[in-house]
Amino acid sequence: MGRAGRRLPALAAVFYGALAALVLLGVRDVLLVYEENRCSMTYMYEYPEYLKIKLPKKTARRYPAYELYLYGEGNYAKENKNLLLTGIPVLFLPGNAGSYKQVRSLGSIALRKAEDVDFKYHFNFFSVNFNEELVALYGGSLQRQTKFVHECIKVILKLYKDREFAPSSVAIVGHSMGGLVARALLTLRNFKPELINLLITQATPHVAPVMPLDRYLTDFYTSVNNHWILKAQELRNLTTLSVAGGFRDYQVRSGLAFLPRSSQHDSALSVVSSAVPRAWASTDHLSIVWCKELILATIRAFFDLIDENTRQITEDPKKRMSVLNHHFVRHPAKIFEENPEAFTELTGTFTWITVKASKWTYSAYNDSDGKYFTFPLASHRKSYSHVYCESTLLDTSSWIYGCMNSNSPMCLEATDLSWKAELLPTTKVVMLKLQDHPSLSHIVVQVPPTVGNKYTLECEFFKEDSRTVQLPVTHLFSFGLSSSKILLNSTGLLYNVQLQHFNQIYQAFKIYIESHCQSLKERKPSVYRLHIPWSHEDSITVERIPSSTEISAKLHIAQPQNDSRVPELNIYSSPDCHYEVILKTSLLQVLGQIIRFHAGALPAYIVSNILLTYGGQLNTLVSTGQCSDFSLELVRTAKPYKVEPLISIVVFLQGFNWFREIWESLSLPEVDAAVLSSRDAWFPLVSLILFLFGTGIAYWSGVFFSTSLRLFSSLWLALMRPPVLPKDKLITPRRLCGALSLALVSWTTCGALAVVIVYLQYLFKVIKLHVNVKADQNTLSGDSGCSKETSQNSRIHTVKNQSSMDSISEETQSLSNSTIAEAVNSLKMHVTILNLFTWIVLLNLPSLIYWLKNLRYNVKLDPDPCRSTAIIITCILEILMNSSTSEVKSSKLLKTAAKVPLPLSVAMLAFGRMHLYKVPDFVTFSLLLHVLCCIV
C-alpha cells in the first residue's frame, strides 16, 4: 500500500473521531450542563401509610399485577381504615417504572394544608400500583393500564356513595406516562368524560414517545392525540394542566410535554416548571414529583378550586383555568379570589402625600403611621406611555390602586390594581400602559404601618421606546467567534432587551451580563428574566450586584408560523447601575439541542450507514471476489448524498396533490422527513448533520467491535486450543431443529428472547471463526519459516530431492493461503452482519426487559411487538452463521442482493426516524436476500 493509501484510513479515523466527539459533546450538554437543583425536598411529618383498596374479584383476576392504594399518615390513616371517606378524591398515576408511593409528597402537603383550615376541606389521595412497568419502552401494556384506571375510578366513586357532598368526578395527577394513560381514558368507548374534571400531568411526553420502539406505543399516541384533536370541543369541560421539567429533565424534553397545539383550547394549559411562580426552578424527571415549590403550587391550586357549596372541585371550567393561571402562569402576590371587588374603599388614618416627580423611591422601616402616595396622571400622560412600580414587601395584601376621575388628591374609592401585579423572586411589580386606563386620574401606592419590616417601594414613568433595546442574535454558524453587545446606562428600574431573530430550537446562546454601580451601597438583587412570548417557558436568574452573570438562552418550542412576537430579556435593574449585555452563539449548546431533539432518531442513521457498508461489501464480492474491510468500505460507501437527496425529492413532490394521490393510492405511509420538515424548516440541514453523526458512530462501533473480537480470540488462543470448524451442509437436521426451537421460544414466550439467544450463538460462532483464522495464519507463517530453514540445510544433499520438496511446499502453501483468504472474507462479512444484528438486538431489548420483569405474572409476552420479526430473523441467522463467501460469490442473486441495501437505507431513513421499530424490518429483508444467495 502506498503512502496515499496509508494516509486515507488515518484521515478517515480522525474525521469520524471528530464526528463522534461532537456527538459526545452534545450528549454531555444534555446530561450534565444545566442549572443546579433549586428544588427543596418534601418531608413527611408522620410515617406514610398505604392502605390497599379491595377491588372487585373480576377486576383483580383480569389485572393481577395492578393494585389501588389510599395514602395516609398518623391519625388520618387510622381514621380512614374503615374507608368512611368524606374528602375530595384525587388519583395519582405513576409513570414509566414509577412507584405508587410517589404520591406521598402530594398527599402529605395536602394533609398539612387541610390541618391549617381545620379539615373544613380535605383531599383523599389514591395511587395506582402499575408494578413499575416500563411503559415508555414497551407500549403493549398501555391500553391495559388505561382500562384498569377506569375500573379504579369507578371503585373510588363507590367509596363515597350515600355520603353528604359525594363527588361525581375524580381529579387525576399523572407523572410521566401516567399522564398519557389519563388522557387515554377519554378514548375508551364506555368511559364517561364527566368522571374527570381536572387533569394535571407532570413531565408527560404528550406529543410523541421519547423512543418509538414498538408500534403499540406509536399507535397508542396516535389514537390519543387524534381523539383529543377531533373531540376538542367535547373535552372543554375537562381542565388540563401539563407541567414540564425544563432543561434538567433530559429524559423527557419539555417540547414533548406541551399539549398538541390543535387541542389547546380554553381549558388546556402547558407550562415549564422554570416559569411557575414561587418555584422558578427546572426539575429532573423524578424530582418533579417531590419538588416542594411545585407541590405547594399544586396543592394551593387544589384548595382554591374547591366550591364552597358542593365541597368538591368546582364544575366551572372558567374558574378552574383562572386558578391554574393564578398559580402556574402569573401570580399577582395576592390570595386567589374568583370575583374580586371592582372598587375598594381607601380607609384608615393614613397620611396622603402627593408625588409629582416622574421617579420616586421610598424606604419604609418601623413606620408607625400608614401613608398613601398619590401620583397624578394628567401631567404625565403627554410625556410618558407607561408607569412601573415595584415593592419588596412580598405579602399578599393590596398595595396599589387607581382613582377614577378624581379632581382631589384624595379618593375614598379606587380600583385595586394589585391584581395586575406580578410576583418575582425578590419583588412584586406592576406595569400599566396609560393609554389602556384613560379613566384613571391618580395612581395610589399604599404604605402600611411597619413594625420591624424593612422594604422599598419605587415607581417611575417612562416612554416604552426608551426602555426597549433591540439586540440581534449572532448567526448559528458563528460558533461563538462573533458577539452582539449593548451597554445600558441604567437610569430606570426596567429594561426590555428584544432578542431579534431568536426563534428556532437549534439556536443556543450564552448571554453575559455584567453590572457595575456608581456607589457601594446595599441594593436589592437584580432579576433577569428570559421571556418567551409564545409559550410559558420563561427562566429567571437572580444575582446580587455588582456581578457577572451567565445565562443560557435556548428554546423548548420553536416560534409558531403566525406569531411575530420576539423573545425578551427583562432586566429589573437598579437606577444608578449600568449593565453590559454580551450575546454569543454556544456551539456546545447547539450540539446539545440537536441531540436533545433528535437523539431518538440516531439509531436509524447508524443502521442506515452500516447497511450501506454491507451493500458495498457485497459489491466488492461481485467485482473483485474479495470482501473489503468494514472500516474502509464505510469510508468509501456511506455517503449522505446517496440517501438524503432522494428523501428531500420525495418530500418536495409530496407538496403536489397529484403526487400525494399516487402515494396514497399505493398505501405508502407518510414520510417521517415530511412531518419533521413541516415542524422545523431547518430539519433538512440537521438531518445531514445527523447522518454524519451516524457515520462517525458506525465507524467507531465497527472499530470497537473488531478490536473486541481480536481480544476475545487472543484470550481464547492463550487459554485453549483453537477449535476445529466442521465443514458440513448449510442446512442440516440439527440446525433446522435449532431454528424451530427458537421459533417456538418466540411464539410461546418473548420474541426478543429468541433474538438474543441466536445473537449470542452467532457471536460465539464468529469468535470461533476469528480464532481459527488467527491460528491458521500463525501456523502458516510458522511452516513457511520452517520450510526455508530446511531448504538451506539440505543443500549438501541431493538437488533433485530439494526441488521436489520445494514444489510440494509451494502447492501446500498456495492452497492454505487461498483457504485462509476465503475464511478472512467470510469473517469480514460475518462481522458486518453481526454489527447490523447488534443494533437489532438493542432495539428489541426493551421488550425483553419488560418480559423478564413481568415473568412471574405471565410466561408469554402479549402483545409481543417483535414476535413475527424474531421468528424470521432466527431462521435467517441459523443459516447465515454457517455460511461463507464462497457460497455467496457463485450465486446468481448476488448482484441483486448488492443493489438492495441502498434503497433499503433510503427507506429506513424515510420511514424509520419516527418509527424505530421499522428499522429491523429493513435489515431483515436485506439479510433474507443474503440467505437466498447462499442457497440459490
Catalytic residue IDs: 176
Query: What are the DSSP calls for 277-297, one per residue?
Result: TTT-----TTGGGTBHHHHHH
Peptide bond connecting 863 to the previous residue in cis, omega within 30 degrees of 0: yes
- Which SS3 state, helix, strand or coil, does residue 438 take? coil
Q: Are 178 and 98 in contact (CB under 8 A)?
A: yes
Burial class (CB in 10 A: 0-12, 13-18, 19+), 454: exposed
Strands 526-531 and 454-462: unpaired
Closest CA to 838 of 644, 643, 512, 603: 603
Query: What are the DSSP calls for 85-134, one per residue?
Result: --SEEEEEE--TT--GGGGHHHHHHHHHHHHHTTTSS-EEEEEEE-TT--
Which cell goes with 699? 465507524
- d(CA 117, CA 234) in angstroms, rounded, equals 36
The one-letter amino acid at 411: C
Strands 351-354 and 413-416: unpaired
Helix axes 630-637, 683-719, angle to 10 degrees: 170
Strands 239-244 and 268-272: parallel
Closest CA to 470 of 503, 492, 499: 499
Q: Are 71 and 48 in contact (CB under 8 A)?
A: yes
Bridge partners of 515, per DSSP, are 579
- d(CA 317, CA 323) in angstroms, rounded, equals 10
- d(CA 919, CA 913) in angstroms, rounded, equals 9
Q: How many residues appear in the chain?
A: 936
- d(CA 106, CA 302) in angstroms, rounded, equals 11
In terms of phi and psi (left: phi > 0; alpha: psi -120 to 50; beta: otherwise), the region of 343 is: beta
Q: Is the C-alpha dihedral spanning 898, 900, 904, 906 positive or negative?
A: positive
The one-letter amino acid at 608: S
The phi and psi torsions of 888 (rounded to 5 degrees) equal -70, -40
- d(CA 496, CA 490) in angstroms, rounded, equals 12
Cβ-based neighbour number of residue 896 at 10 Å: 13
Q: Are 109 and 41 in contact (CB under 8 A)?
A: no
Q: Are 580 and 562 in contact (CB under 8 A)?
A: no
Closest CA to 553 of 518, 502, 595: 502
Contacts of 48 (CB under 8 A, 6+ apart): 71, 72, 73, 101, 104, 107, 108
Q: Is the C-alpha dihedral spanning 869, 855, 851, 153 positive or negative?
A: positive
User: Where do the DSSP E strands lie in 142-298?
Assistant: 170-175, 196-202, 239-244, 268-272
Closest CA to 205 of 189, 187, 188, 183: 183
- d(CA 285, CA 177) in angstroms, rounded, equals 11
Burial class (CB in 10 A: 0-12, 13-18, 19+), 451: exposed
